[in-house]
Amino acid sequence: MATGSRVSKLKDMFETNAEEQVDQRRQRSFEKYQTSTALSEESNLTKLSHLQLDPAGDEAMLSDLKKSGSDHIFSNARKFMALFKTGGLDSVILEIQSELKRFQDTVVHIAVTGESGTGKSSFINALRGVSDTDMEAAGIGEMETTMEPTKYKYPNRVRVAIWDLPGIGTPNFQAATYLERVEFDRYDLFLIVSTTRFKENDMFLAKAIQERGKKFYFIRNKIDQDLKSKERRSMSQYDQKEALRELYKSSLDNLTKGGIESPQIFLISCWYMEKFHFEALLEVLEQGLPDLKRRLFSYSLPNVTSKVIDRKKVVMLSEIWKDAFYSAVAAAAPVPGLTTAYNITSLVTKLSQCRADFGLDDNSLRRLANRMRNRPEELKLVVQSTFGVEVSAGLIQNELSKLSGPVGKLQKAVKYLPFVRQVTAGKSTYTATYSLLKTAIEEMAEDAKRVIVTAFSEN
């Protein structure tokens, strides 16, 4: 590809990812640059086109990358190495841009349905990490309060939504026409909520969903009340694990007799999300979605256990090499007045979103405190990391200035990712950006664990 074409592509990358985030002064500088001579950028971009690959070395590189312990972070290295080998740096840039665009366009729609009195609204609120009294909460009521499908967005990820569907078999939503009335094709998966026994309409709906090839899960809610009832009846012989097994078997028998094959059943309590099957439910929902939807949904999950936080951390870490690569390309083909601003501004956006996803921003802490009946100030005290406490351009600039050169596993990873090595002029930017993001995410994950321990232990 001609150098001029590559220049245009790199400018497009800057415009797509930074134009809306930089101030007018920087934008004017960029526009001035567009009309100026291209000699300096031609010289810089010439540096991006000289690397020759060893055709026999790819598998060895990938094998060594795996041994280094970085393969989970560079999980799609094989794909990008193949792209680089056939199309050069331009192909890698285009694919990363394309992935970013696809992710930005990704939405997740989860449908929740059940009869009135089953705790459906409380379940929707629990999935979104808000309390029943929150301004953003789904309305609570013993009578059927949902007259039309109602959308509730996740507070920190508005492209993820839970839909509260009217109960099947109500006068306005008869079973025979239910799926058409609620716009079946809109949803990625369905959650059928009940207490005690699942009813005939629940099974009818499950069979109809299965016939149309979508996933559905049975949620037996208010399991804490069932266990308390069993404890009162059992007196000194009460065994919670055995009681849970009996309740699960009861639901399994109920659904199997109704003609549901191998139903997936989860016993949960919205008051005790860290107990019973709530964590398992979140993991199954996450794994039941295709790749981009899975990633988006994992970011939105409420932090109910350390395992949920760890899964979220792994997903974040697997993507940060792309942020670092963008920074490296920006440094290798610098745009006066914009390159540094692009990196700092994009890092502010990235880290602010990570902080919110880990539930460390003020709004998230307020919601958790409200749900667990804590005070937000008590939760803030256990947040210790630099970016867990605050994200700002000044802090990022300060942390970047402390970082120099690749170290440890990252050094080996950079060595075996040729499309990173080719951006020679931006290699130090790559390693500094990557190291900052990796450390920040790992530290914020530990903050998030301390927060939930504090919130749940005081409840």
Q: How far apart are CA 57 and CA 53, in angstroms?
A: 8
**Residues 314/315/319/323 CA torsion (nearest 10 deg):** -90
pLDDT in tens for each of the 459 residues of the chain? 444 454 455 445 444 444 444 445 444 444 443 443 333 333 333 333 333 334 344 555 555 545 544 554 455 666 777 777 788 777 878 888 888 899 999 999 999 998 878 889 999 999 999 988 888 888 876 555 567 899 999 999 999 999 999 888 777 778 778 888 899 999 999 999 999 889 998 999 999 999 999 999 999 999 999 999 888 887 678 888 999 999 999 999 999 999 998 999 999 999 888 889 999 999 999 999 998 999 999 999 999 999 999 999 999 998 888 888 878 777 766 555 555 666 888 899 999 999 999 999 999 999 999 988 888 999 999 999 999 999 999 999 899 888 755 445 555 555 555 555 555 556 677 888 888 999 999 999 999 999 999 998 855
Distance separating alpha carbons of residues 214 and 184, to the nearest angstrom: 10
Closest CA to 206 of 144, 255, 148, 149: 255
Both tokens assigned to 458: 């005081």
- Is residue 359 within 8 Å of residue 129, measured between CB atoms? yes
- Inter-residue long-range contacts of 164-171, CB under 8 Å, 24+ positions, other chains counted: 164/112, 164/120, 164/121, 164/124, 164/138, 165/111, 165/112, 165/113, 166/113, 167/113, 167/114, 167/115, 167/116, 167/201, 168/113, 168/201, 168/202, 168/204, 168/205, 169/115, 169/201, 170/144
CA distance 296 to 306: 19
Write the CA distances from 20 to 7, 27, 341, 378, integer angstroms.
20, 9, 12, 36
Identify the pLDDT of residue 211: 92
Please tell me the predicted confidence (pLDDT) of residue 419: 55
DSSP string, 161-216: EEEEPPPTTBTTB-GGGHHHHTTGGG-SEEEEEESSS--HHHHHHHHHHHHTT-EE
Q: What is the pTM of this model?
A: 0.79
Tokens of 77: 């290295």
Question: Quick check: 400 and 435 in contact, CB under 8 A?
Answer: no
| CA of residue 348 relative to chain centroid, distance | 18
CB 250 within 8 A of CB 224: no
| pLDDT at 53 (0 to 100) | 38
| Best CA proximity match to 76, nearest among 324, 411, 321, 365 | 321
pLDDT in tens, 55-104: 344 555 555 545 544 554 455 666 777 777 788 777 878 888 888 899 99
Return the pLDDT at 59: 55
